[in-house]
Chain A
């Protein structure tokens, strides 16, 4: 199976532009040299009764009905690009393809006298470039998936993570990329809990894995790495730890290893709490969040204290490399993973990955990536990196962040949040970005 690049549409952003139709004009221009929306292959249609706008565009389906309905072979699915190609010289204008499509992705143009559909502008979509609100984006992470597909997944199949678990995706992607010359530590948390550390006398990984205490992950890895160095073997000492194992119970050993700049790749998978033991709050749990230890009742309205910003704390250790990442932006993550891996040969590298948790945060398992994305787009979870001696650097700057509700509204754990709390959260977000910007020299 090959993955392909695609256009993504965010109706909540599209709403902001007041029917600018810039994408439509751009498409009509680039395809037919006209401003007439009739020539556009992308259509934005108003939603009803206050619903956000909708997009009618060819989805370049995997098993396309339009192609199956075509008697002339004018339509074909291109296995290399993933595009549904339309060949004018073969088309007989029977319009049967329009019967196949449920989304208005291929339509008849009465002036051109034939059907027309999106061809992704040969990988340089004019509509995306024209979109002023960022509602359209061209997703090019397919290349990563195709490349990773060639590598071996170093976790065993059948781990018992929850449906839609972001942490499982992070683990599998990360270890696959880091490769087999690795010793992995997974302190107590969801990651070993889902079976990666082992079950029935076998490990859940295809690399050596161990289960340190919550308190000593970084120090055990430091010792292991030293021993491998002595033996002359180049082995990556890697931790996949939760936010509790990294920032609360495990913090002194983590801080010590960072201070010594030990050669470790430490990945913190931050789901804002102790999810596998029953969703208790941790130091990373954000202000206002419902957890089982920060309940919502007549007195308490979720967590009363703010989350500590572990990534910034780690940056202040001045170790080799520190970065935040999100699975909604995998290209960004992969670049950081490459840098972190290289940095871990020199010293301590720390990656902090936001990991919204469908079970503990109470959102549908299909929404994991959407929650990740909105976290970044509201600046709740900004993406940045820091290299020893340099400035902090935003890797995906958000100039016009969505209001923080756009993120909070997705998760049940914020359902009770009142106006006052909301204002407080928004203020915290703003302050955090201001602080980060200072570090970035802005």
Chain B
């Protein structure tokens, strides 16, 4: 039996931030970091750029080679958490090794959802979540011409654009009527769709795939309206979901992800969860939500680690705020917080058709609830803070509406000293 004090499962944003935070206050207790991946730690967000060839896999390693040794962290790669004995405080890895822990952090992220489309399981297709996926997709894309991407969420859109950059003919098929729902309203989504069209990506919005079948080296995709498409390469990007088989037999409560409190504690003693695997407080409502974005994985990893180390500087998690800084074909769509107005919100919109600019501010009782923009300079981090801190904009409202960038900078800078 191996023993460790901290056992962290998952070596991506949430897990790595937790390790970093633990070492800030606890220099000595053993940390063991287990990851399923055989590659040195990387960010899933970088993968589309690996596909296009812009980023080389060996140049996007999140920690220098000697980091783990230097910080006295035992890194176990290419292995996997398969079960937890919560009373005995032990985990079993895929290799059969068992580890005794004092505190366990689950930061195992999410895996692609494979939709139940008839024929899909018999057809070769790609997903995009790991470095190996990206390398496989890149190598395949280098040899073929036509790609179809299922899903116009973050992964699908990034994937499609980068396949286009790699020189392929790309078609996106999406069930919803708009791209990136939840982050952008219909107007912003239309600008994004337009750019995709203009750059030669076919957008089949509101289309449901009813069948997929192999065809030669590629596949044929049949839509609900009877149309069919042929592709050499199929990328399935219809969402992600945590893979939680290792929780069997534990008292950890699960809904869409692992349910955690504002300290990232699960319902089981000595077990925390953070990042894409966790379902945590929403900033806006009572229901716990899946965030699935990088900055939140970092924040949650930090909160978990601070609670695990009993760091008294811990501030409980304020709740998830959707954030998207989406760049596409040289343009930027940025959205922080709520993107859709409801009756309780004051909505202010500014459109500059000539320059393709757009700005929308949502306020509630003069406090920022959400802001989204297209091709406007925008400090997403400042807006995020204004929302989280519920800064009362009453004294500066006119200035904020006229010049959100400068006003936000002045507001936040004044908190610095």
Within 8 A of B (CB), among A88-108: 90, 92-96, 98-104, 107-108
Which residues does chain A contribute within 8 Å of B13, judged by CB atoms?
Answer: 68
Interface residues in A, total, Cβ within 8 A: 37
Q: Are A104 and B408 in contact (CB under 8 A)?
A: yes
Tell me the complex Cα distance, A66–B294, Å.
12
Q: Are A46 and B410 in contact (CB under 8 A)?
A: yes
Most buried by A among B62, B377, B381, B414: B381
Q: Are B60 and A95 in contact (CB under 8 A)?
A: no
- Nearest-CB residue, chain A, relative to B63: A73
Q: How far is the CB of A46 from chain B (nearest CB, A)?
A: 7
Q: Are A90 and B60 in contact (CB under 8 A)?
A: yes
Q: Are B325 and A96 in contact (CB under 8 A)?
A: yes
Tell me the complex Cα distance, A24–B409, Å.
15
Q: Are A95 and B327 in contact (CB under 8 A)?
A: yes
Which residues does chain B contribute within 8 Å of A336, judged by CB atoms?
Answer: none
| Smallest CB-CB A-B distances: 5 pairs | A71-B43, A95-B325, A54-B413, A71-B45, A56-B409
Q: How far is the CB of A173 from chain B (nearest CB, A)?
A: 24
Q: Are B332 and A45 in contact (CB under 8 A)?
A: no
Q: Are B406 and A93 in contact (CB under 8 A)?
A: no
Within 8 A of B (CB), among A133-154: none
Per-residue contact bits, chain B 389-414, to A (CB 8 Å; 1 contact, 0 not) = 00000011001000001111110111
Known: A98-B380, A101-B381. A69 touches B294 (CB 8 A): yes
Per-residue contact bits, chain B 45-83, to A (CB 8 Å; 1 contact, 0 not) = 110010000110001111000000000000000000000
Tell me the complex Cα distance, A101–B385, Å.
9
Q: Are B55 and A56 in contact (CB under 8 A)?
A: no
Tell me the complex Cα distance, A65–B17, Å.
10
What are 25 A-B pairs at a CB distance below 8 A?
A43-B409, A45-B406, A46-B406, A48-B395, A48-B410, A56-B409, A56-B412, A63-B24, A71-B43, A71-B44, A71-B60, A71-B294, A72-B60, A92-B55, A94-B45, A94-B327, A95-B334, A98-B379, A100-B295, A100-B298, A102-B381, A103-B412, A104-B379, A104-B382, A104-B413
Which residues does chain A contribute within 8 Å of B396, judged by CB atoms?
Answer: 48-49
Q: How far is the CB of B133 from chain A (nearest CB, A)?
A: 15
Given contacts A92-B49, A103-B412, 14 further A-B contacts (CB under 8 A): A45-B407, A48-B395, A48-B410, A71-B60, A72-B49, A92-B54, A95-B380, A99-B323, A99-B336, A100-B295, A102-B385, A104-B381, A104-B412, A104-B413
Q: Are B332 and A95 in contact (CB under 8 A)?
A: yes
Contact of A94 among B59, B325, B399 (CB under 8 A): B325
Per-residue contact bits, chain B 349-382, to A (CB 8 Å; 1 contact, 0 not) = 0000000000000000000000000010111111
Tell me the complex Cα distance, A295–B44, Å.
67
- Nearest-CB residue, chain A, relative to B333: A95
Contact of A100 among B49, B55, B381, B408 (CB under 8 A): B381
- Nearest-CB residue, chain A, relative to B17: A68
| B binding-site residues for A, Cβ under 8 Å | 13, 17, 24, 43-46, 49, 54-55, 59-62, 294-295, 298, 323, 325, 327, 330, 332, 334, 336, 375, 377-382, 384-385, 395-396, 399, 405-410, 412-414, 416
Which residues does chain B contribute within 8 Å of A68, judged by CB atoms?
Answer: 13, 17, 298
Which residues does chain B contribute within 8 Å of A72, judged by CB atoms?
Answer: 43, 46, 49, 55, 60
Tell me the complex Cα distance, A98–B412, Å.
14
Known: A48-B410, A65-B298. A107 touches B377 (CB 8 A): yes
- Nearest-CB residue, chain B, relative to A101: B381
Q: B-side binding surface: helix, strand, loop or mixed?
A: helix
Quick check: is A27 within 8 A (CB to CB) of the other chain?
no
Q: Are A102 and B382 in contact (CB under 8 A)?
A: yes
Quick check: is A51 within 8 A (CB to CB) of the other chain?
yes
Within 8 A of B (CB), among A391-434: none
Q: Are B54 and A108 in contact (CB under 8 A)?
A: no
Q: How far is the CB of B406 from chain A (nearest CB, A)?
A: 5
Within 8 A of B (CB), among A209-225: none
Quick check: is A231 within 8 A (CB to CB) of the other chain?
no
Tell me the complex Cα distance, A90–B62, Å.
12
Tell me the complex Cα distance, A54–B380, Å.
18
- Nearest-CB residue, chain B, relative to A57: B413
Which residues does chain B contribute within 8 Å of A99, judged by CB atoms?
Answer: 295, 323, 325, 336, 380-381, 384
Which residues does chain A contribute within 8 Å of B407, judged by CB atoms?
Answer: 45, 48
How many pairs of A and B residues are in contact by the CB < 8 Å rule? 121
Tell me the complex Cα distance, A59–B409, Å.
13
Which residues does chain B contribute within 8 Å of A59, judged by CB atoms?
Answer: 416
| A binding-site residues for B, Cβ under 8 Å | 43, 45-49, 51, 53-56, 59, 63, 65-66, 68-69, 71-73, 90, 92-96, 98-104, 107-108, 110, 113
Which residues does chain A contribute within 8 Å of B336, judged by CB atoms?
Answer: 99
- Nearest-CB residue, chain B, relative to A98: B380
Which residues does chain B contribute within 8 Å of A90, judged by CB atoms?
Answer: 55, 59-60
Q: Are A93 and B414 in contact (CB under 8 A)?
A: no
Q: How far is the CB of A37 from chain B (nearest CB, A)?
A: 11
Q: How far is the CB of A48 from chain B (nearest CB, A)?
A: 5
- Nearest-CB residue, chain A, relative to B54: A92
- Nearest-CB residue, chain B, relative to A49: B395
Which residues does chain A contribute within 8 Å of B414, judged by CB atoms?
Answer: 47, 51, 54
- Nearest-CB residue, chain B, relative to A51: B414
Tell me the complex Cα distance, A223–B407, Å.
65
Q: Are B409 and A104 in contact (CB under 8 A)?
A: yes
Tell me the complex Cα distance, A412–B375, Å.
49
Which residues does chain A contribute within 8 Å of B379, judged by CB atoms?
Answer: 98, 101, 104, 107
Tell me the complex Cα distance, A68–B45, Å.
13
Q: Are A56 and B294 in contact (CB under 8 A)?
A: no
Q: Are A96 and B295 in contact (CB under 8 A)?
A: yes
- Nearest-CB residue, chain A, relative to B376: A110
Most buried by B among A53, A59, A99: A99
- Nearest-CB residue, chain B, relative to A11: B417
Contact of A96 among B45, B55, B382, B385 (CB under 8 A): B45
Tell me the complex Cα distance, A346–B114, Å.
85
Q: Are B413 and A56 in contact (CB under 8 A)?
A: yes
Q: How far is the CB of A65 from chain B (nearest CB, A)?
A: 7
Tell me the complex Cα distance, A59–B413, Å.
11
- Nearest-CB residue, chain B, relative to A87: B59
Most buried by B among A51, A56, A66, A102: A102
- Nearest-CB residue, chain A, relative to B42: A71
Which residues does chain A contribute within 8 Å of B17, judged by CB atoms?
Answer: 68
Known: A68-B17, A95-B334. A103 touches B60 (CB 8 A): no
Q: How far is the CB of B288 from chain A (nearest CB, A)?
A: 22
Q: How far is the CB of B266 from chain A (nearest CB, A)?
A: 23
Tell me the complex Cα distance, A103–B408, Å.
9
Which residues does chain A contribute within 8 Å of B332, judged by CB atoms?
Answer: 95, 108, 110
Tell me the complex Cα distance, A61–B327, Å.
26
Q: Are A73 and B60 in contact (CB under 8 A)?
A: yes
Which residues does chain A contribute within 8 Å of B327, judged by CB atoms?
Answer: 93-95
Tell me the complex Cα distance, A73–B336, Å.
23
Tell me the complex Cα distance, A104–B325, Å.
15
- Nearest-CB residue, chain A, relative to B389: A102
Tell me the complex Cα distance, A98–B62, Å.
18
Q: Are A65 and B46 in contact (CB under 8 A)?
A: no
Q: Are A103 and B382 in contact (CB under 8 A)?
A: yes
Q: Are B295 and A54 in contact (CB under 8 A)?
A: no
Which residues does chain B contribute within 8 Å of A45, judged by CB atoms?
Answer: 406-407, 409-410, 413
Q: How far is the CB of A38 from chain B (nearest CB, A)?
A: 8
Which residues does chain B contribute within 8 Å of A92, judged by CB atoms?
Answer: 46, 49, 54-55
Which residues does chain A contribute within 8 Å of B295, judged by CB atoms?
Answer: 69, 96, 99-100
Which residues does chain B contribute within 8 Å of A56, judged by CB atoms?
Answer: 409-410, 412-413
- Nearest-CB residue, chain A, relative to B385: A102
Most buried by A among B405, B406, B410: B410
Known: A65-B381, A73-B59, A96-B294. A47 touches B410 (CB 8 A): yes
